[in-house]
Structure 1
Amino acid sequence: MNKQEEDILLSLYDEPFINQRILSETTGHSLGVVNKSIKNLLKNEYLDDDIRLTSKARESIKKKAPINAVILAAGFGMRMVPINLETPKALLEINGEALIERTIKQLREVGIKNIYVVVGFLKERFEYLIDEYGVELIVNEEYATKNNLYSLALVSDKISNTYIIPGDVWCDRNPFRKNELYSWYMVSDLVDDESDVRVNRKMELVTVPEKKGGNAMIGISYLVGEQAEIVKQRINAHVRNKRYDGSFWEETLYEKDRMIVSARVVHATDIIEINTYEQLRELDEDSNHLKSDAIAIITNALDVKAIDIIDITVLKKGMTNRSFLFSCRDKKYIMRIPGEGTDQLINRKEEAHVYQTIKDKNICDDIIYINPNNGYKITEFIEGSRVCDPNNVDDLKMCMKKLKEFHALNLSVDHEFDIFKQIDFYEKLWDGTSSVYKDYEKTKKHVFELKKYINEHIDKKCLSHIDAVPDNFLFTKSGDIRLIDWEYAGMQDPHVDIAMFCIYALYNKRQVDRLIDIYFENKCDKETRLKIYCYIAACGLLWSNWCEYKRNLGVEFGEYSLRQYRFAKDYYKFFMEEMIENESR
C-alpha cells in the first residue's frame, strides 16, 4: 500500500463508506486518487465489494497501531529567556494547563498509557507526573552538553509503534490517533525560513536549499515497522560518535535529499511549538509563567510595560552568564542573567563598585541597571559593533592601546583579585573531588613556585580588568573601543590583563610574544616578559580549575579547558628554560 491507500483505509476504519466524494473530503486526496486507491485496495483484498475493511486490512491496522510514546523534555530551552531559569519549557502553562500535561492527556485519550518522559534540566519538577499520570521518567544526565538525539538514545529500545513528541508543543486539537498505518513526521502549512524540509506532491519531505523556506517542522513523529528499526540503528550508532553530541534526533530520518518517513501536514494554528517568551505571550497573555523577575526589572528600569518588551533573542551562551537581547521603544538593550554557580564565583557588590568607579570614563558600555545582590544587569546594545579579531594585528594594536590607556588611569577599588587565592578557592568548590588531571598536584606545585618571582617584579597595582579577552573588546561604528564584562575586575598588576588576553585567544608562544611587543611598543624588558609568562601559567591553572568547577555543574568547555591546563604546564616550562639560560650566561 502507498500512503494514499493507507489514509483511505484508516478513514474507512473510523467511518463507514458513503461515497467517494466524502472520502475525498475526509482524507484530503483528490477524487481521482480516491478512485484509483479503492481499486488497488479491492485488488489486494484490503476491501471487499461493499468497500468495507477485510480481516486482512484490520489485522494490518492492528499490527501497526500505536503502543507507546516518548516525550523529549530534557533540554534547557535557551530561546525561552528570560523564564527558562525557573521553569522547563514542557511545564509552561497555557490557560492554566502545563504543555506536557495536555500532551499526556491527549495520548491517554487515544488509549496510550505507556509514556516515557526524558528529563534533564530541573528534572525534579517532573516527578509529580509519575503519580499523576503513571508516566516513566528517564533522566538524561548530559542534557547540558548533548542534544535530543542523546535523549532519544536512552529510550531507543522502546521505539516501535511509537509517537516521538517534543515537550514544548501545544496542540489545540488532539494530533494522536488510535490507529496508524505508516511512519510520518509532522510539519505545518506555515513557511519557515529555518526549516530543512518541504512537502512535495507525493507527500514526501524533501530537503530545501540553504536560505530557502520550507514547511515549519513541528517535531511530532510516528515510527513503525522498517523506519522504526532504521531510526533505532542510526541513533545507537550516532550516539557513540561525539560529532553528533549537538544533533537533533531528526538527523536519523534523512536519506540523501529526503526523509525516510512521509509528511503529515497540519494547520499552523492547530499545533504550536513554544520556543520564545513572546510566543507564549501571544498564546496566553495571562500565563503565570510570564511573570518573570527579569521582565519586572526591565519594566521598572526603563519605566515601560511588559508588552513594550519585544524581539527577545537569546545571545550566544557565555562562559559565565546567559544574556538576551531585546527591543523597547525603538532602542535595543542587553540583559545579563548570571549563569549556574556564579553566586559562588563572583562578588556582585564588588562588580557594582567597579562599574561606579569607571562610570563616565568612556571605557565600558552604557550601564542602565545593575543589581549588586543578584548580578542582573541591563546595558544599551551597541548597534553595529564587533569584537576584536585576535589574529588581526591592527585590531590588536588598537585594543592594547585602549588597555594601556585604562591602566594609565591608575584607578583604585577596595578589593583585589588574588590569582593564587582564587586557584585555591576554585579548587575548594570541587567539593572534595580530585582533579581530572593525573599530574594536577605536580602542576600546581610548579605554578605556585612562580609566585616569588612575580612578587619581586610587580611595579604597581591598579584596577585591572582581569577578563580582558578578545570577545570583551567592542569596536563601535564610530571607531571607539569599549571594554565590557567587568565581573572579575579588581586591584592587580595590570600586566595580568595581557596574559588573560593570550590564554583566552589560545595563542602560541610566538603570538604571545607579539602581543607583549605590541603593548610595550617593542620596549618590554626581559624580566617583565618572564613575569607575564608566569602570569600565563598561573592564569591557565586558574581557569582550568574554574572549568573543572563548571564541569561539575554540567557545563563543558571542551578544548578551552584542556588548553588552559596546557598553558599552566608549558609556560612554567618556558619560564624555567629562560631562567636556566640566563644563569648559564
Structure 2
Amino acid sequence: MAIMAWQEACQLDTSLRSLDHFFSTPPEYAQTLTGGLTNRCWKVKTHSSDCFVWRPSTHITKALSISRFHEQQILSLIKDTGIAPKPVYLNEYGLLVEWIEGEPLTDDLPFDSLLKTLAKIHNFDITKVPTVPFNYTARVDHYWMLLREELQLDQYRDLYQQWRNVPSLDNTIHSLCHFDLAGYNMVKHSEGHKVIDWEYACVSDPRLDLAITIGVTNEKPLESVYRYCQFRGIESVDDWVNGVMAWKPRAEVMAMLWYLLAYQLKGQERYLTEAQTLGDLLVSQSDQA
C-alpha cells in the first residue's frame, strides 16, 4: 500500500479531485488499498485524523455491473446495524464511506463466526430496500456478452448455456445478500466483526449467497448448510440443502465468467487461471454426476 500526498494521488486517480468540494481543506494524504479485485480504492486521511475510503466508479465497475449508487442505498439502509461502514458522500465519480479501523480476518476467522455473520445479514429487514431482486440470468448473460470472441471457448460456452437459468425450487426466498462474504471482507473491530466491500450486495435468494460463501471458503456444503440453519433456527433444512446445491454450480459459473471478464479488463493472468480452474471443476463435477 502506497501513501502519497493528496495532490500526487489526485494526479494518479483524477476521480479524487471530485472530493475537493466535500473537504473544506485538502486531505493530508491518500493511500492505495490492496485486497480488492474489482478496482483500486483509497484510504483518505484528513488533517484532523478523520479517515475514509474512496470507492471510485470506472469502466471496470460498470462492466462488472457494480453501481456505487446502489451500494450507497444498501449501506444507508443498514447504517444503524453497526455491521458495515456508513456512507458519507456520493457523486458520479464514486462513493466515500467511513474507514473501519481494525485487523482483517483473513486467517483466524472460525467458519462458524462467518456463518453467524451471514445469517445476521440475511435476517435484516428488506422491506425498505429500494431495488428489484437480483436477476441471475441477466447477470451471467451480461458477463458473457461482454467477453471477446477469443475468450468464448467451447468449454466456457457449454457451461454458461448449461447453467444460465435459475434453478427450479419449490419455495422462493429473498433477503439482503452480500455476495462476497469471507474473511477478506471482514474486519476485527473493538465493537465486533464488521463487514466491508458491499459493492455486489443485493436482494436475492440467500441460498445463493450461502453457496457463494461456501465456494470461496472451500468448506463442505452439507455441513455448512446444517450449521447455518442451526444458527438461524431453520427447520426446513432439506429445502436449504437442495437450494444451496442447486445454486452451487450456478455460483461457480457466475464466478468463472467474472474472472474471464476481469482478465479481459485488467490483463492479469491470475484471473484467467481462476476461470480455468473453475471451468475444469465444473466439467469434472458434470462427468461425475
Category of TM-score, reference length = shorter chain = 0.7 to 0.9
Q: How many residues align?
A: 280
Q: 1:515 to 1:435 in 2, by over 3 A?
A: same
2:197 paired with 1:493: no
Q: Which position in structure 2 is the counterpart of 1:460?
A: 173
Q: 1:440 to 1:378 in 2, by over 3 A?
A: same
Q: Which position in structure 1 is the counterpart of 2:53?
A: 334
Quote the Cα distance in structure 1 between the aligned partners of 2:141 and 2:221.
26
2:116 paired with 1:401: yes
Q: Which position in structure 1 is the counterpart of 2:220?
A: 511
Superposed displacement of residue 466, structure 1 = 2.1
Q: 1:461 to 1:436 in 2, by over 3 A?
A: same
Q: Secondary structure at the match of 1:499?
A: helix
Structure 1 unaligned spans of 5+: 1-77, 81-275, 282-287, 578-585
Kept after mapping to 2: 8 A contact 1:467/1:501: yes
Structure 1 window deviating more from structure 2 (458-467 vs 396-405): it is 458-467
Q: Secondary structure at the match of 2:266?
A: coil
Q: 1:279 to 1:411 in 2, by over 3 A?
A: closer
Q: Which position in structure 1 is the counterpart of 2:266?
A: 554
Kept after mapping to 1: 8 A contact 2:53/2:96: yes
Kept after mapping to 2: 8 A contact 1:500/1:539: yes
Structure 1 runs, 4 residues or longer, greater than 6 Å off: none
Superposed displacement of residue 411, structure 1 = 0.9
Quote the Cα distance in structure 2 between the aligned partners of 1:504 and 1:353.
26
Q: Which position in structure 1 is the counterpart of 2:99?
A: 381
Q: What CA deviation, in whole Å up to 9, does each residue of 1:371-415 have, x standing for no partner?
A: 3x33x12222222232244xx5x6322221122122122414322
Kept after mapping to 1: 8 A contact 2:5/2:28: no
Q: 1:465 to 1:406 in 2, by over 3 A?
A: same
The alignment's TM-score, normalised by the length of structure 1, stands at 0.43
Kept after mapping to 1: 8 A contact 2:31/2:44: yes
Quote the Cα distance in structure 1 between the aligned partners of 2:224 and 2:207.
12
Quote the Cα distance in structure 2 between the aligned partners of 1:370 and 1:279.
21
Q: What CA deviation, in whole Å up to 9, does each residue of 1:130-184 have, x standing for no partner?
A: xxxxxxxxxxxxxxxxxxxxxxxxxxxxxxxxxxxxxxxxxxxxxxxxxxxxxxx
2:68 paired with 1:348: yes
Quote the Cα distance in structure 2 between the aligned partners of 1:571 and 1:497.
20
Q: Secondary structure at the match of 1:495?
A: helix
Quote the Cα distance in structure 1 between the aligned partners of 2:168 and 2:272.
33
Q: 1:518 to 1:573 in 2, by over 3 A?
A: farther
Kept after mapping to 1: 8 A contact 2:259/2:272: no
Q: 1:553 to 1:349 in 2, by over 3 A?
A: same
Q: Secondary structure at the match of 1:341?
A: helix
Q: Which position in structure 1 is the counterpart of 2:43?
A: 325
Quote the Cα distance in structure 1 between the aligned partners of 2:183 and 2:273.
17
- In the alignment, which of 127, 137, 141 is matched to residue 424 of structure 1? 141
Quote the Cα distance in structure 1 between the aligned partners of 2:120 and 2:87.
21
Q: What CA deviation, in whole Å up to 9, does each residue of 1:69-91 have, x standing for no partner?
A: xxxxxxxxx848xxxxxxxxxxx
Quote the Cα distance in structure 2 between the aligned partners of 1:466 and 1:545.
15
Q: What CA deviation, in whole Å up to 9, does each residue of 1:403-437 have, x standing for no partner?
A: 21221224143222112221111111125x15454
Q: Secondary structure at the match of 2:81?
A: coil
Q: 1:340 to 1:555 in 2, by over 3 A?
A: farther
Quote the Cα distance in structure 1 between the aligned partners of 2:96 and 2:13.
18
Q: Secondary structure at the match of 1:455?
A: coil
Superposed displacement of residue 559, structure 1 = 3.9
Quote the Cα distance in structure 2 between the aligned partners of 1:553 and 1:539.
21
Q: Which position in structure 1 is the counterpart of 2:87?
A: 367
**Which one-letter code corresponds to 1:519 in the other structure?**
Y
Q: 1:366 to 1:571 in 2, by over 3 A?
A: farther
Kept after mapping to 1: 8 A contact 2:226/2:237: no
Q: Which position in structure 2 is the counterpart of 1:50?
A: none
Quote the Cα distance in structure 2 between the aligned partners of 1:305 and 1:280.
16
Structure 2 unaligned spans of 5+: none
Quote the Cα distance in structure 2 between the aligned partners of 1:315 and 1:493.
31
Superposed displacement of residue 538, structure 1 = 0.5
Q: Which position in structure 2 is the counterpart of 1:564?
A: 278
Superposed displacement of residue 440, structure 1 = 2.4
Kept after mapping to 2: 8 A contact 1:537/1:572: no
Q: Quick one: higher RCO (CA 8 Å, sep 6+), 1 or 2?
A: 2
Q: What CA deviation, in whole Å up to 9, does each residue of 1:224-262 have, x standing for no partner?
A: xxxxxxxxxxxxxxxxxxxxxxxxxxxxxxxxxxxxxxx
Q: Which position in structure 2 is the counterpart of 1:533?
A: 245
Percent sequence identity is: 18
The alignment's TM-score, normalised by the length of structure 2, stands at 0.82
Kept after mapping to 2: 8 A contact 1:435/1:548: yes
Q: 1:564 to 1:289 in 2, by over 3 A?
A: same
**What's the C-alpha RMSD, in Å, of the aligned pairs?**
3.1
Quote the Cα distance in structure 1 between the aligned partners of 2:204 and 2:85.
22
- In the alignment, which of 443, 454, 461 is matched to residue 159 of structure 2? 443
Quote the Cα distance in structure 1 between the aligned partners of 2:12 and 2:25.
13
- In the alignment, which of 28, 49, 70 is matched to residue 309 of structure 1? 28
Q: 1:386 to 1:317 in 2, by over 3 A?
A: closer
Q: Secondary structure at the match of 2:37?
A: coil
**Which one-letter code corresponds to 1:415 in the other structure?**
V
Q: Secondary structure at the match of 2:206?
A: coil
Quote the Cα distance in structure 2 between the aligned partners of 1:317 and 1:406.
22
Quote the Cα distance in structure 1 between the aligned partners of 2:151 and 2:213.
25
Q: 1:380 to 1:353 in 2, by over 3 A?
A: closer
